[in-house]
Amino acid sequence: MTVLVPDLDHLRRAYAVTSKATQLTPLLDSPALARETGAARVFVKPESLQWAGSFKVRGAYWRLKQLSAAEARRGVVAYSSGNFAQGLAAAGQALGIPVTIVMPIDAPAAKRDATAGFGATVVLTDHGERAREEVASERARQIATDEGLVLLHPFDDPEIVAGQAGVGLEALDQLAAMGAEADMLFCPVGGGGLIGGIALAFHYLSPRTELIGVEPEGFNGMGTSLAHHQIETMPLGPKSICDGLMARRPGEAPFAAVRATGLRGVAVGDASVRRAMKLAFERMKLALEPSGAAPLAALLDGAENVRGKSVLLIASGGNVALADFIEHVRNA
C-alpha cells in the first residue's frame, strides 16, 4: 500500500491555515545548555506554551479543516492518552465541531480534566493486561460505527503529519531570523506524527541538519523500525513516565515520512528525563512534562556528540500536574 508523503507545498498550505489559529511559540537560545553540553549553541522550541499545552493542536486543527461540512456536523472520535485529546478538543471547540475522546483509564487526571474542559466528551477504557492503545482504539472504532462519527487517528494520518510540520517550518523561520542554522535536531517520538512533519520540513529546507528521534526505553519502536527498515512493534514491558511517548510502534504515515530523511533514534530512561525536567525548570524556567523533556534528556546523556555544534531541541509539551512535576524533579 502506498502511503502519502506530504510535499513541501502541502506542508506550507497546512501551516498557512494553522498559523492563524495557533500560538507562535518562541525559539529560546540557551547559553546555559550550551555550556552544560559543549555545544556551540542550544535552541529550545517550547511547544509547552502552545494552545492546549502541546504541539498537538497544530495537526488536529488542520485535520479538522479537511472534514466535509456533513462530517463536521456529525463530529469526530479519536483515542489518546492526553495531548492529542486536548489538542483535538481545543481545535474542535474553536471550529464548532463535536469531539469524543477515548482515553485509557490510567491517563493523567490533569489531561482528562483539561480535555473535558475544552468541551469534549471523554470515554475511559480499562485495558487490564492488554496494550492500552489497542483497547482504546477498539472502543473508538466502535463508537464511530455506533454513532456515525468520523474516526481520527492521533498520529497515523498524512494530514496530521502535515499539520505538525508547522513546528519545523516555524523553527526554521526563527533560526533564519537569528542568523543561525541547526546542525542537529532532537525531537520526541511517540507514534511519529510530530517527527514525521518536522523531519519532512528539515529534509526539504535544511537537509544538512542531522535528525535525532528520542523515545523512552522500551518504547523505541521508531528507532527499531528504522534500523530494521520495516515497522516493528515493541513487546509489552514496564511503563515509562513519558506518558505521551508510549506508542509501541510508529504509524505507517509517519514512518513513510521519515524513511528518506536520515532520521535515527535514541532511547532515554526515566532517571534522565527527570533530570532534564529539573534542569529545564532551573535553567530556562520551563515546566515540561516528561515527554517534552525527553530530547533534553538525550542531549544531557551525551547520546550524540554535540560539541561545537548548533543544536535544536523540540520541547513538545507541558501537560503535567503540579504534584506530579514536583515528584519527578524531587526524585531527579
Residue 171 has pLDDT above 80, yes or no: yes
Percent of the chain with pLDDT over 90: 90
Residue 308: C-alpha distances to residues 34, 215, 271, 282 (Å): 9, 24, 26, 24
The values of phi and psi at residue 267, to 5°, are -120, 145
Per-residue pLDDT, 131: 77
64-79 per-position pLDDT tens digit: 999 999 999 999 999 9
Please give the average per-residue pLDDT across 127-142, as a whole number.
86
Amino acid at 283: R
pLDDT-derived band at 82 (thresholds 50, 70, 90) equals confident
pLDDT-derived band at 2 (thresholds 50, 70, 90) equals confident
**Which of 266, 263, 260, 264 shows the shortest CA–CA distance to 3?**
260
CATH no. of 8-54+159-330: 3.40.50.1100
Asked if residues 213 and 183 have their Cβ atoms less than 8 Å apart, the reply is no
pLDDT-derived band at 30 (thresholds 50, 70, 90) equals very high
Asked if residues 110 and 319 have their Cβ atoms less than 8 Å apart, the reply is yes
Per-residue pLDDT, 81: 77
CATH architecture of 56-156: 3-Layer(aba) Sandwich (3.40)
Percent of the chain with pLDDT over 70: 100
Residue 125 has pLDDT above 80, yes or no: yes
Residue 166: C-alpha distances to residues 94, 163, 313 (Å): 18, 6, 15
DSSP string, 58-115: HHHHHHHHTS-HHHHHH-EEEE-SSHHHHHHHHHHHHHT--EEEEEETTS-HHHHHHH
**Rounded CA separation 22/312 (Å):** 21
Amino acid at 294: A
Domain spans, the chain:
8-54+159-330, 56-156
Residue 223 has pLDDT above 80, yes or no: yes
- One fold for both 8-54+159-330 and 56-156? yes
Per-residue pLDDT, 134: 86
Please give the average per-residue pLDDT across 236-250, as a whole number.
91
Residue 109 has pLDDT above 90, yes or no: no
- Indicate the Cα dihedral angle 62, 163, 252, 90, nearest 10°: -60
Residue 37 has pLDDT above 90, yes or no: yes
Average pLDDT, the chain: 95
Residue 128 has pLDDT above 90, yes or no: no
Residue 332 grid coordinates? 531527579
